[in-house]
Amino acid sequence: MKIKVMKFGGTSVAKAESRMISAMRVISAKEQGFKPVVVVSAIGRKGAPYATDTLINVLREIDPNVEPDARELDLLVACGEIMSAVIFAHTLKTLGHSAQAFRGGQAGIRTDGVYGNARIVGINPVSLIRSIEAGKIPVVCGFQGVYAPGDGSPGGELTTLGRGGSDTTGAAIGAALNADAVEIYTDVDGVKTADPDAVKEAPTLRQVTYDEVAEIAHLGAKVVHPRAAEIAMNYGIPLWVKNTFSDDVGTEIVTREHFPGRRVTGVTHTGKLVYLQFDLNIATEADRTVLEGRIYETMERYGIGLFMLNLSPSSTGFALPRAQYPTVKAILDGLVIPVSVEEARFYLIQIGTKPSMDVETQATLLKGMGDVRIVPTHLTEGCTMVSLVGHEYMQQPGVYLNVLTALVNGQVTVLQTSDSDYSLSVLVPEADTNRAVKLLHDRFGLAEVS
């Protein structure tokens, strides 16, 4: 039995017309002799009536100050995929092909009990197999599973899989059914060397390794989620990224052995960042440990995503998503950190050049209580992290030089740098994003990559 798992993203199931195109791809696979198993995302992307973000906003709009319960949130957002699966199955039925919709739990997907970010612990695909053997096309809700708490409660608890959840569902079902291929359908031709908004001529890569795709996703371009790629790799299931709306062959995600040599894979970017640099010159070494520890402990507690971390004897800094900055400002600006009760020494964090009302209030309250030292914190708003991703490439002499030369010659200001085994990143002003991407794309000859 040749099984092909076909996962369709939000834009592929957003409208009747796009669902019809997606359904025809399923039927085509069936006519080629495959037993298709469909996985669907919720209908549409951000802003669409039944998209995950829209559903979450329904709760937030009731009272933005009351955080929804994670369990209830999972029940709510899972509705998007349930509707999508039922509608897709019915679309197939109208085209003369018997289909059957499954919730994640009905498809046998068991997870751990972490609401909102569950991990798949096992799949018992018996229902899917029965459906296939009965000549039907199973249509499975992506992004969800069920957790059995083991307390005797019937039915288990619905969980969602977090970021990349539907891709992960597709790959996991492919592994459970020992599929011939898993195809992730989206609205781009596959993994490109750069965002086409920045580089129109950016080619589609025909093959990328798991590490490359994982690093590309880590650095901002989420064509396929690394969790899905990892499962496919572990089980040896061929994984493809394809465009629902074109006949391009797409990108195959392959094992590292396919690329024994080195190459530059592409240029990616993560926008909408702000950069905070805490000036610790006024602190003693012992005090710096307390200050930095407190800053990072706070970031940990509030789950802030950190990019481009930078530690030095005189300062510490990091970039964070602009969306999380109001939270960080509310916590850190005006935060008083007492470091020595005996010596009555306090540090007061001030974000930006002008003290806010919070900082002034705290300074007034601390007046006369001891030694109060302001921690000046430089804020750079409107930043983007632009990254060169490569396979065994970054360790070559001159790569940094090439990157910085291209950007400096192109009049792009480099605010900070960061690198790892697979990437080299620069922080640049957001206004220069597309120019920076294009400059690096040209410098490393990526138009010729395939």
Residue list 385-444, contact with other proteins (CB under 8 A): 394-401, 404-405, 408, 414-423
Which one-letter DSSP state was computed for residue 313?
A: T
Are 430 and 384 spatial neighbours (Cβ–Cβ below 8 Å)? yes
The candidate with the shortest Cα–Cα distance to 224, out of 189, 199, 198, is 189
Where does this chain touch other proteins (CB under 8 A) — which range of 52-60, 123-131, 187-195, 343-351? 123-131
Q: Least distance (Å) from other proteins to the CB of residue 234? A: 8
Pick from 85, 177, 191, 439 the residue near other proteins by CB under 8 A.
177
Q: Which is nearer to other proteins, 169 or 251 (CB)?
A: 169
- Per CB under 8 A, contacts with other proteins among 51-90 are none
Residues 149-168 that bind other proteins (CB under 8 A): 162-164, 168
Q: Is 122 in the site for other proteins (CB under 8 A)?
A: yes
Minimum Å gap between C-beta 165 and other proteins is: 11
What does each C-alpha distance from 405 to 136, 408, 410, 436 come to in angstroms? 58, 5, 8, 11
**Residue type (1 letter), 366:** L
Q: Is residue 1 part of the contact set for other proteins (CB under 8 A)?
A: yes
- Quick check: 106 binds other proteins (CB under 8 A)? no
In this chain, which of 27, 75, 282, 304 binds other proteins, going by CB under 8 A?
A: 304
C-beta of residue 266 within 8 angstroms of C-beta of residue 446: yes
d(C-alpha 80, C-alpha 50), whole Å: 6
372 vs 414 by CB, closer to other proteins: 414
Smallest gap, in angstroms, from Cβ of residue 363 to other proteins? Answer: 26
Nearer to other proteins, 62 or 401 (CB): 401
The CB density around residue 205, as the number of other CB atoms within 10 Å, is: 26
In whole angstroms, how close is the CB of 200 to other proteins at the nearest point? Answer: 28
Of 197 and 300, which CB lies nearer to other proteins in the complex structure?
Answer: 300
Contact 428, 412 (CB under 8 A): yes
User: At its nearest, how many Å lie between other proteins and the CB of residue 4?
Assistant: 14
Taking CB under 8 A as the criterion, the residue among 303, 326, 342, 353 binding other proteins is 303
Q: How far is the CB of 91 from other proteins (least distance, A)?
A: 26
Between the CA of residue 438 and those of 196, 205, 265, 425, 450, what are the distances in Å? 10, 17, 14, 14, 17
Stretch that binds other proteins, among 85-93, 307-315, 370-378, 435-443 (CB under 8 A): 307-315
Tell which positions 219-248 bind other proteins, by CB under 8 A: 225-227, 230-231, 235
Q: Are 101 and 89 in contact (CB under 8 A)?
A: yes
3-class state of residue 248 by DSSP: coil
Residue 305 is a binding residue for other proteins (CB under 8 A): yes
Shortest distance (Å) from residue 369 CB to other proteins = 25
CA distance 13 to 40: 8
Number of residues that bind other proteins (CB under 8 A): 73
Alpha carbons 204 and 228: distance in angstroms, whole number:
20
Q: Which is nearer to other proteins, 165 or 245 (CB)?
A: 165
Q: Does 217 participate in binding other proteins (rule CB under 8 A)? A: yes
Within 10 angstroms of residue 67's Cβ, the number of other Cβ atoms is 10
Q: Are 246 and 204 in contact (CB under 8 A)?
A: no
Decide: is 293 part of the binding site for other proteins (CB under 8 A): yes
| CA–CA separation, 434 and 417 (whole Å) | 18
Contacts of 230-235 with CB under 8 Å at 24 or more apart are: 230/171, 231/168, 231/171, 231/172, 231/174, 231/175, 232/171, 232/174, 232/175, 232/182, 234/175, 235/174, 235/175, 235/178
Smallest gap, in angstroms, from Cβ of residue 392 to other proteins?
12
Could you tell me the smallest distance in angstroms from the CB atom of residue 247 to other proteins?
A: 30
